Amino acid sequence: MTTDFWRIVFGRLDLGALDFLTAFRDPTLNEIILSGAAWAVILGGLAAVVALSRYRLWGPLWQNYLVSVDHKRIGIMYIVLAGIMLVRGVLEGVVMRGQQADGLGGGFLSANHYAQLFSTHGTIMIFFMAMPFLTGLINIVVPLQIGARDVSFPMLNSASLGLTVAGAALVMISLVVGQFSTGGWTAYPPYTDSLFQPGPGPDYWLWSVLLAGLGTTITGINFVVTILRERAPGMTLMKMPMFTWTALCTAILMVFALPPVTVSTAMLLLDRYAGFHFFTNALGGNMMNYANLFWLFGHPEVYILILPAFGVYSEIVATYSGKRLYGYGSLVVATMSIAVLSFTVWLHHFFTMGQDADMNAAFGIATMLIGVPTGVKVYDWMATMYRGRVRMTVPMVYLVSFMVLFVLGGLSGIILANPSIDFQVHNTLFLVAHFHNMLIPGLLFGMLAGYTYWFPKLFGFRLNDRWGYISAWSWVAGFVLVFFPMYVVGLMGMTRRTVAYTNPAYQPWMILSAVGGVVVTVALLSLFVQLYVSIRDREFTRDIGGDPWDARTLEWATPSPVPAYNFAVIPHVHAREAFAVAKEAGLGYQAPPAYADIHLPGDTWMGVILAVFGTAFGFGMIWYMWWLAALSFAVMAVAFIGRALRGDRAGVVIPAAQVAAEHRAWLAAVGRLAPVTREHEQDGINHGVAAPETREVAA
Amino acid sequence: MSGTSAIHAAPGLSYEAGHDHDHDAAGKALWGFWLFMMSDLILFGLFFATYATMLDPMSYAGGPTPRDLFELPGAAMETAVLLTSTLTFGLASLAVKYEQGRGRVLGWLGVTLALGLVFLGLEVREFAHMIAIGAVPQRSGFLSAFFGLVPLHGLHVTAGAIWLVILMVQIVGKGIDAGLTSRLARLALFWHFLDIIWIGIFSIVYLGGIV
């Protein structure tokens, strides 16, 4: 009787699932690392709670962030999430490098633990580092670039964040309670079916991806509507900044490419929970359907990831070259081409899984075609720099490294796109080297460049350059050291996802790769040191004028930090590089003829409710605690319907007088500041007003 | 409007008095909803595609085939009921457009809801019959695909029916204001969309299974 009761309460959860206890039962290095990670999550969470209580930050955190619908605050929360997950993802990568350096005939990790590591590493880096990072950046920048007050659906924006956080929370909880999937970030059945992995691992993967995927779909819808409907008067599509173009393409891809993964996860869940036969070996299941569905999402996904980074690079290359962006029209066409072509190549992820040669050839050619618009972009960026007054700032270090490394990675992609070569190197570390070569210089460097570039806009001070350079160069060197050896061992035949190997020829390369892992760790630490030093020294890098880089687009025509309402008066846009053209004419800081009351959307609890009860729902489903899942689902449904019925009742009106006072005070401050030339961009005298210099601007 | 003169007066950007964004909330919501439906359509499209790949002796796994399971009268009845409900929803929309009064709008919506519930009842009866004769989703890949696709549509109709009830309660409580008209327009789109999906199901699953 009581056993039944506890089974209903706790489902299949028992004490054996608590990872932080295993090291005490079985103190091997493998178990100590497993438990250590669990303790890191527990203690990290506790430390955050203690710090927030100690400094009485719960109120401000709740008021200014958690319930806020301000797109900038939501963007910051996304990026904080990305930062936390980046730490875990990098550390897992470093542990894997250590294992493989020591992996000749053994190593210190169990095969099962290693499989969990590469599964969580991939899942986290794609879904919970890259996606939140780019979504955060899009959130922060796009409304500012198009001259809007907020996104079209502020409440849904908060809801998207809540769902993403719930997915990330489940992945973090899997470190403490139970084990994660060992099926890689793609979770191919039948290996992930209940026959082979009856435990909670694949369920952790499925529910976190499903929740985060729903959040991303809503984000996509939100940003397509925002970009198409909220632009300032006069900003036609072909006057949009390039980052906004890439955000639009990414948002469109989110709307159309996320449903396949929703379908594949839903079907796999039915297989696992209800005994369906979508992908099973027995009774007519067909796992090829999973491969097709997953990659029908998975390939457009890599362009969801890369396009915003291309947008960041397009912005910074023009700004730091002091020159208009070369080939704007070709960049727009290339971005759109990539978005369309991204749906035509998914089969190259499984050339070896049984299609005929003609089919493979068609998809191989389509894959190579994507190199064309991407090449156009690289030439456009180079042409922008050509004869420009290039300043090698931190974002430019990322850009230049990206241009070199990304082209190399692209070339290895062209090699892999050839099915006959792919048959030789698929499933080796050559492939692992290839996609890290695209995503680290492409996505990660782009995001870090964007973080450095737009940071002062949000916080009113610049990031420390010294630590920025240290971090940037460490990322570059660390990346090369970690992944270039993988090309070599991949060609030698070393398969991916293996915990140990027997060929001693691999080991020197793997040791080199592990050294790279140390350098990458230094890069990661430097980022946090940079943040600390920048906050400590913020009085020396104050950005008051709002334009520390002599930049070109609308977001820089606002004060730093940007007020909640973004623009005191919505500007009319008459040029592609509106702010640069205005500055050229000496009209960068105009006083509007009149101010009006500003209406802003009200706070919402929806994000918090979805984050908390979404996590509880997923946890209940994973551990068969049906009461918890049902209760949490009911809470979310009632909250959502209630909000739909009530509408936004908490809207805020900022009176015209207040807006006018704030804006006039800022204009006066700008007038008092000494404009700085680009020679002093990184000095203490740069307070965000740029001296007029010869500019080449795009009307 | 700002013509060329404004450009000469203020290159790049300018601020003009008394000119802010139009707050077209209903229009934006409608755009967002169209996008949601496009996304949802992909969801259905992939369930259709999966179903099509499962129309294969390997996926029947020795179990019942479409020819054994589906019969036209039942599916035709469901189709007739659902298509009629889309007509009555259209009449409700017209009643809103021509301001024919709260009573008439509620009446047509009530008929729509009733037809929707009848449709769901017929569908549940069909599933119950299939389960009774052992044609359960656990039997074969084909039946899994069927029970993935058709009940997914049924779930959508259920969600639409709940939404319909909520809007009817709002009409009774607050009358038909601009916000409600906009919500009703979106629900109408959704309802008609589900009809189109059903036509796909009728053609591919039922007609396709019988021929």
Q: Is A690 helix (H, G, I), strand (E, B) or coil?
A: strand
pLDDT at A4: 85
User: Do B12 and A148 lie within an 8 Å CB cutoff?
Assistant: no
Considering the domain boundaries, does residue B146 fall inside one? yes
Any B CB within 8 A of A233 CB: yes
Lowest-confidence segment of A241-245, A384-388, B1-5 by average pLDDT: B1-5
Residue A641 has pLDDT above 70, yes or no: yes
What pairs with residue A323 in β-bridges?
Answer: A696
At B61-113, the pLDDT tens digits run 999 999 999 989 999 999 999 999 999 999 999 999 999 989 999 999 999 99
The answer to whether residue B17 is domain-embedded is no
What domains lie within chain A, and their CATH numbers? Answer: 57-604+648-680 (1.20.210.10)
**Hunting for tokens 């599933």 — which residue is that?**
B127
Report d(CA A278, CA B59) in Å as an integer.
Answer: 9
User: DSSP label at A281?
Assistant: S
Residue A14, pLDDT score: 84
Residue type at B170 in one-letter notation: Q
Chain B nearest-CA residue for A285: B141
CB–CB contacts below 8 A, A to B: 187
Residues A164 and A161: their CA atoms lie apart, in Å, by: 5
Q: What backbone phi and psi angles, to 5 degrees, belong to B161?
A: -65, -40
Query: Chain B closest CA to A159's CA: distance in Å?
Result: 15
Give yes or no for a contact between B51 and B204, defined as CB atoms under 8 angstroms apart. yes
Distance CA B143, CA B156 (A): 20
Q: How much is the pLDDT for A15? A: 82
Which pLDDT value is given to residue A694? 67
- Give how many domains chain B has, as a whole number: 1
Tokens representing residue A645 in the block: 């019925």
> What ipTM goes with this model?
0.94
Least confident of A380-384, A391-395, B2-6: B2-6
Asked if A101 is an interface residue toward chain B (Cβ–Cβ < 8 A), one would say no
Whole-angstrom Cα distance, residue A82 to residue A229?
Answer: 28
Helix (H, G, I), strand (E, B) or coil at A631: helix
Average pLDDT of chain B to the nearest whole number: 91
For residue A597, give the chain B residue with the closest CA: B20
Q: What share of chain A has pLDDT > 70, as a percent?
A: 100
- Confirm or reject contact between A230 and chain B (CB < 8 A): yes
C-alpha span between A290 and A346 (Å, rounded): 12
Q: For residue B46, give Cα distances in angstroms to A185, A275, A646.
A: 21, 20, 35
User: Distance between CA atoms of A577 and A148, rounded to whole angstroms?
Assistant: 16
**pLDDT > 70 in chain B, percent:** 92
Buried/exposed A330-361: b ≥16 CB within 10 Å, e otherwise = ebbebbebbbebbebbbbbbbbeeebeeeebe
Please report whether residue B54 resides in a domain: no
Q: Which residues of A touch B31 (CB under 8 A)?
A: 152, 224-225, 228-229
- pLDDT for A153 equals 94
Q: What's the token pair of residue A361?
A: 């050839």
CATH of the domain at B190: 1.20.120.80
- Would residue B13 count as lying in a domain? no
Instruction: With a cut of 50, say whether residue B1 has pLDDT above it.
Output: no
Contact A276 B138 (CB under 8 A): yes
Whether residue A215 has pLDDT greater than 60: yes
Inter-chain CB proximity A225 and B42 less than 8 Å: no
Residue B143 lies in a domain: yes
- Among A1-15, A621-635, A653-667, which is the least confidently predicted range? A1-15
Inspect the interface and report whether the beta carbons of A574 and B54 lie closer than 8 Å. no
In this predicted structure, the answer to whether residue B23 has a pLDDT above a threshold of 80 is no
Q: In 3D, which of A266, A219, A274, A269 has the Cα closest to residue A247?
A: A219
Q: Quick check: is B3 in a domain?
A: no
Q: Does B154 score more than 70 pLDDT?
A: yes
Q: Is a pLDDT exceeding 70 seen at residue B6?
A: no
**Chain A, nearest residue to B53 by Cα:** A289
Q: What is the mean pLDDT of residues B121-147?
A: 96
A274 touching B (Cβ < 8 Å):
yes
Average pLDDT on A679-690 reads: 92
The mean predicted confidence, pLDDT, of chain A is 94
* Residue B157 placed within a domain: yes
Q: pLDDT grade, residue B19 (50/70/90)?
A: low
- Token code pair at residue A423: 């048959």
pTM of the model: 0.96
48-77 in chain B: CB under 8 A from chain A: 50, 53-54, 56, 58-61, 63
In this predicted structure, what is the pLDDT of residue B10? 64
- B77 within a domain of the structure (yes/no): yes
Query: For A687, what's the count of Cα atoms within 13 Å in the CB-facing half-sphere?
Result: 13
Query: Minimum mean pLDDT among A32-41, A96-105, A411-420, B45-54: which range?
Result: A32-41
Domain span including residue B79: 25-49+61-210
Give yes or no for A235 touching B (CB within 8 A): no
Residues of A in contact with B23 (CB under 8 A): 599
In this predicted structure, which of A100-114, A312-326, A566-580, B4-18 has the lowest mean pLDDT? B4-18
**Are A276 and B39 in contact (CB < 8 Å)?**
no
Report the relative pairing of strands A598-600 and A572-573 from DSSP bridges: unpaired
Helix (H, G, I), strand (E, B) or coil at A654: strand
A190 touches B: beta carbon within 8 Å: no
Residues in chain B: 211
- The band of B4, judged by pLDDT with boundaries at 50, 70 and 90, is very low
Whether the Cβ atoms of residue A422 and residue A363 lie closer than 8 Å to each other? no
Query: What confidence score (pLDDT) does residue B7 get?
Result: 45
- Establish how many alpha carbons lie within 13 A of residue A674's alpha carbon, considering only the half-sphere containing its beta carbon: 9
Query: Does residue B5 register a pLDDT over 50?
Result: no
Chain A residues with CB-CB distance to B161 below 8 A? none
